Structures are given as C-alpha cells and as structure tokens.
A and B are shown apart, each in its own frame.
Chain A
Amino acid sequence: MLHFEGKDYPLEEGESVLDCLLRNGEQVNSLCRSGSCQSCLLQATAGPVPAPAQVGLKDAWKQQGYFLACVCRPREDLALARCDVGASFDALVKQVTTFSPNIIGVKLSRPPGFEFRAGQFVQLSRPSDGLMRPYSIASLPSDNELELHVALLPGGQMSGWLSEAVGQSVTLRGPFGECFYQEGEPERPLVLAGTGTGLAPLFGVLRAAAQAGHRGEISLFHGSPQASGIYLRSALEELAASLPGLRLFGSLLSGAPSELGAQGLWQLELAPLDQVVFSRHPKLDGHRLFLCGAPSFVQSLRKRAYLAGASLSRIHCDAFAAPHPA
C-alpha cells in the first residue's frame, strides 16, 4: 500500500511506485523509467525503501529517504511525499546553435548563485506547463553562460520548443551527477565514451581537464549513426592544443569511405562504439572512465571496463534516455 498526499493506493504485484501513482491519476514527473534520469525522485516519509530504488543517489539523499519511483517496487507499505531537492534557478535562453541535423546547442544565462562542475546535469523545466527534461552542462564553472546540448527528437515537446526559445525563461534544478573531472591526478589516463548528446558532459570534462593542465593520455570516443552526428569536431581539435595526450575517435554505424579513417585529428571507424573503445583499450587498469549515453550502453560498457581492470570507483556514468513512450 502507498500512502501519498492523504490517499492510499494498493500496489499491484511487481508494480513500481511510479506506475501505481500514474495509474491512479497522480501527476508525477518521469522520463527514462529505468532509474537513470532522476526525474521521478520522491521522498519516503515512512517505510523501508528497496535498495535498487536508490542506486546512484548521493548518500545524503539516501539517508533522507529520497528514491527513484520508476524502479521502486516496495514489498511493504510506504508513505511518500513529493520532494523539492536542490534550489531552483531561473535562466534565460540566450542563443540556439545548430551542431548537427539532429542536435542543437542551447546557451542559457548563468543564474546568480548556480554552482556546478563541468559534466553534471540539470533538470530544465518550461515555466508555462512544468514540462521537465534532464540536460548535461558542457560549459565550465568559469563561464558566464550555461551550454546544453539538446537532441531534436521527432515530435519532441521540449526539444522542439527549445529550438525556438531564444528570449524565453526556463527553470533549472540541480546540478546532479558525478560525471565530472577529478582534480589532482594530472597524469592519470582517461577514457571518455559517449553516444549522441552524451558528448555534452564529456566536452565539459575535457575542457575542465584542459583548464587543469592534464598531461596524461586521454581518449575520447564519440558514437553516432552517421558522420554528421560527430559534432563539435573542430572545437575538440582545438582542445588538443592544450591537451597533448588527447586522441579523438568516432564510431559510425554507416558512412561513405570518404567519411572514414583519418579526418583532421579524428579517427572515424565503421564499428560499434564498444568495439572501437576496447580495441584501443583492452586493459584499463589505473584508468578513469566517463561513460555517457543510453542506460543499456552505459551499463554494458561499465561492466566490460571493470572486467578490463578498471576500478568501479573510477568509472563515472551519466546514463540518460529519450522520453519513454507513454
């Protein structure tokens, strides 16, 4: 049984808290429905929270009973409340840039008092109706603006709106996530791998590494269905000037011969991203990894990286997903 805002809802066998609340007509935010994006965060006020519903949350949040409703399948009664973690900030959409046929860059004004690490993500909501989506931050804390990378999805409510939203206000909550550069180990070899707009947090991590004077080897692997989706190529090549150990790899699922091989500082291959990563890095002892993309991709790469010798504490993941079909 769930106790929520003075009402009791019986849970069906194996049903998640999110599904139960939605089934009963409650309005609850959700997006990935796989325990990644943290859109459906709620707080338990009484009753035990199953451990899988708190994977990836900060310890302080776990202790306060915060959990992810989409992957929470309680066996006992649970009393819960909507939560309001993290301050919210108002920002203005300043500029929209086209990065690829399917990806735009959205620059926001930096709200006063908004502190973050490059590579973390925010929950962005549209004030008119509260529609909310998570986006990673590609800018540096020293920048005056916040840059987000947004995938243009067919019929995407938020992405379609954002593409024409210059001058509009948005609300930000966060930052969230542990996918950011670690200071104090300038020699450590780094492996960054991401698909699509998973490049945004990786771009943030790389810029932070450049600012910190990272000297160790860094391999960036970016995956896209086709060559046009390997965006921000020249911006990344420019970073190589201050990151001598940086090597850039692209993984494509289709492409003409002229689009493959050495392209400037890039090496583009017609092979799945995991194959490109592990052919270059069969051994990952002592490496730090940043993995960003769809949850299934991130989980599979994380496991393989661990089997290849990486320590779990040095694998940082940012799993995100397209909106779950309703």
Chain B
Amino acid sequence: MTTSIYERLGGEAAVDAAVDIFYRKVLADERISSFFDDVDMDRQRAKQKAFLTFAFGGPNSYAGKDMRAAHARMKLTELHFNAVMENLGATLAELGVPAALIGEAAAIALSVKGDIVSS
C-alpha cells in the first residue's frame, strides 16, 4: 500500500501551511470569492482545511450525501469548480510540491466533482 500524499507532504503541518495560501487565493478570486466570504472566517478557514485534508488523501470525514446537500443550494457550475482546482494547483505549486503529487491531489478533488457541480 502506498503512503498518501498527505503523509508524503508532512501531514497536518503541511495542511496548515497550505490552508492560508489557499483560502487567500479563493477569497481574492472574483469568480468564487462570494461563496467563501463568510463573516465567520475561522469557520470558513476550518472548512478549507477539511477540503485540503481530503484532497491530500488524509484522514477526513467526507460524506458524499452531505457534500451534495451543502453545495446544491449554491448552484455551482463547471466554472466555479475549475476555479477551485486552479487555486488548489497554484497553492501546491507555491509550496514547491512536485507536479506528480499535485496531479494526485487534483485527481482526488476531481473525483467528487459530481457531488459539487449542479447538473
């Protein structure tokens, strides 16, 4: 069994390093910032941390049913999903993560696209 990206990147410390870079990117991204612009920034940051932990294949509590319910109200499109993917890739590139590992994280995030984008 291969170790997860999460472990290879350095576990929770790596997610902590990534979450502020990622959250700042999505807040500054006009395509999607309104979805992340929560008055409770601590709570929103915690959600981003959970997402990154999931994308890195780390310990997470991802439940497809909950994710579908939570995202359905936002009526998200392909454009929004791609924006998040771009910001995820850019965050990891900024941290010096090798392209192959970025690809693995992107593949995990891509696997749940059906739960997020409204069809």
Contacts and interface: CB of A to CB of B under 8 A. Distances in A.
A145 to B, nearest CB: 35
B80 interface: no
Contact of A55 (B20, B39, B45): B39
20 contacts: A35-B39, A51-B40, A51-B43, A52-B39, A52-B40, A55-B39, A55-B40, A55-B43, A302-B41, A303-B37, A306-B24, A306-B27, A306-B41, A307-B24, A307-B27, A307-B28, A311-B20, A312-B41, A312-B42, A312-B45
Contacts of A51: 40, 43
Contacts of A303: 27, 37, 41
Interface in B18-60: 20, 23-24, 27-28, 37, 39-43, 45
- Classify the secondary structure of A's interface with B: helix
Q: How big is the A interface, by class?
A: 10 to 19
A299 interface: yes
Interface residues of B, number: 12
Nearest to A309: B24
Contacts of B43: 51, 55
Interface in A180-197: none
Nearest to B25: A307
A54 B14 CA distance: 29
Given A55-B39, A303-B27, A303-B41, 18 more contacts: A51-B40, A51-B43, A52-B39, A52-B40, A55-B40, A55-B42, A55-B43, A302-B41, A303-B37, A306-B23, A306-B24, A306-B41, A307-B24, A307-B27, A307-B28, A311-B20, A312-B41, A312-B42
Interface string A285-315: 0000000000000010011001100011000
